[in-house]
Homo-oligomer: A and B are copies of this chain.
Amino acid sequence: MQIFEELESAVRSYSRGWPTIFEKAKGYKLWDIDGNMYIDFFAGAGALNYGHNHDTMQEKLIAYIQDDHIIHSLDMGTTPRKTFLETFHNTILKPRNLDYKIMFPGPTGTNTVESALKIARKVTGRDTVISFTNAFHGMTIGSLSVTGNSFKRHGAGVPLHHSVSMPYDKYVNDQDSIAYLERFLEDSGSGVALPAAIILETVQGEGGINAASIEWLQKIASICERWDILLIIDDVQAGCGRTGTFFSFEPAGIAPDIVCLSKSIGGIGLPMAITLIKPEYDQWGPGEHNGTFRGNNLAFIAATEALTAFWQDNTFSKSIIQKSKLVRQRIDRIIDKFPSLQGEARGRGLMQGIVIPEPNCASEICKAAFDIGLIVETSGPNDEVVKFLPPLIIDKEGINQGFDILEVSMEHVLKK
């Protein structure tokens, strides 16, 4: 590990909490160079919904490389780009009656968010974007301006503009955040201009596994419609099946104007992102937003395989719901078993967590869990949430194994 300390920037973070060198991985398990095995409740921060090294994805990647196919193509036409477009359209959009133009904005989450903000501002001619408390949308200046975390925002080194932070669902006890938002919009003296867009995560992954209610999402969608505001759903972490449906907003029956996808869209953990835009808002000039790595063909190959292997019917979706119930049971059991933790369950689908109010306690539990074979991280403005984000392909055994380790870790921490 000394190499990392000596040569790498102080900005590194995960290698501090999990101080080992990982070597191999398959499904929901990782192994380090000393042969230790770890259950994965982290899934590459949501980029590995289909687990590590999925067999057919591996095969297709290898075959593609072996045959001297195009690896890097910007937005030139290539076969994997074409096949991905067709597969995404036929497998995901069409069955859900969703009509979007597909944009490749560069292969990262922050890039899809930046492109979404740009096009929303362009088509409305307005500059303000409303985001929510504890939102996380990325680390480049545009995305950071709609992100809540003060440490991250401060890192910008400049004041962040053109955004207004509104209270997320259930932000202040007993206060109706929708009433609040509506009052600001309808009062021409509120100091908040009519925004170009409202951007939100249906479940806030970095902000503390806060899950908006279906009703709240529907009300936001209806506010957007009423005021002619574009609704952007950042489904970078909550999408690709994470909460039980391909898009996290499906249960609300809404159709956002713009959708941001990244992380698991690349199937096997390769950098990829897409921005979905309602055709009437796809008013880009050619090249008005671009990026060198928007044609990552290896990612297109794995992405297409993921859609084909998992999303042809609703079997996978159902299995996620099943497993998420088990996760909730294990969370409830923890809350019962360790009352002194004052734990509180949060989240939806396979994006759940436990809030533990005692400062540093959640972090210590994660540290202890790592020592005995579980990869799990914290979330929330004060790292107060233990966050469960296993690969969606995990089985019951894996979930139980992970939670067994977690309970041992909690006991260990509580003893101290």
Q: How far is the CA of A131 from the CA of B45 in the complex (A)?
A: 35
A75 proximal to B (CB < 8 A): yes
Known: A13-B75, A271-B296. 16 other contacts (CB 8 A): A7-B89, A8-B103, A9-B277, A9-B284, A10-B101, A14-B76, A23-B79, A33-B79, A45-B292, A52-B71, A114-B140, A131-B191, A134-B189, A155-B289, A165-B192, A172-B180
- Return the 6 tightest CB-CB contacts between A and B, nearest first: A121-B157, A72-B269, A165-B191, A189-B381, A141-B142, A9-B103
A208 proximal to B (CB < 8 A): yes
Contact pick for A4, options B85, B115, B176, CB 8 Å: B85
Q: Could you jot down 7 A-B contacts, CB within 8 Å? A: A7-B89, A8-B102, A11-B284, A11-B285, A108-B293, A134-B187, A172-B183
Chain B residue at minimal CB-CB distance from A147? B191
A151 partner residues in chain B, CB cutoff 8 A: 188, 285, 288
Query: When the two chains form their complex, are residues A25 and B58 in contact, meaning their CB atoms are under 8 A apart?
Result: no
| Chief secondary structure at chain A's binding surface | loop
Q: How far is the CA of A4 from the CA of B89 in the complex (A)?
A: 12
Q: Which of A61-69, A330-338, A347-355, A400-408 contacts B (4 or more CB under 8 A)?
A: A61-69
Chain B proximity of A66: nearest CB distance (Å): 7
Query: When the two chains form their complex, are residues A155 and B187 in contact, meaning their CB atoms are under 8 A apart?
Result: no
| Contact A114-B141, Cβ < 8 Å, known A70-B30, A131-B191 | yes
Query: When the two chains form their complex, are residues A176 and B175 in contact, meaning their CB atoms are under 8 A apart?
Result: yes
Would you give the 0/1 interface string for A167-182, flagging 1 where the beta carbon is closer than 8 Å to chain B?
Answer: 1000111011001100
Query: When the two chains form their complex, are residues A68 and B52 in contact, meaning their CB atoms are under 8 A apart?
Result: yes
Query: When the two chains form their complex, are residues A44 and B86 in contact, meaning their CB atoms are under 8 A apart?
Result: no
Per assembly, the copies of the chain total 4
A135 proximal to B (CB < 8 A): yes
Contact pick for A289, options B11, B102, B150, CB 8 Å: B11
Query: When the two chains form their complex, are residues A139 and B291 in contact, meaning their CB atoms are under 8 A apart?
Result: yes
A339 proximal to B (CB < 8 A): no
Query: When the two chains form their complex, are residues B290 and A139 in contact, meaning their CB atoms are under 8 A apart?
Result: yes
Query: When the two chains form their complex, are residues A110 and B140 in contact, meaning their CB atoms are under 8 A apart?
Result: yes
| Contact A118-B156, Cβ < 8 Å, known A110-B291, A282-B10 | yes
Quick one: which of A1, A9, A70 has the most chain B CB within 10 A?
Answer: A9
Chain B residue at minimal CB-CB distance from A93? B7
Q: How far is the CA of A296 from the CA of B108 in the complex (A)?
A: 12
A245 proximal to B (CB < 8 A): no
Chain B residue at minimal CB-CB distance from A287? B13
A153 proximal to B (CB < 8 A): yes
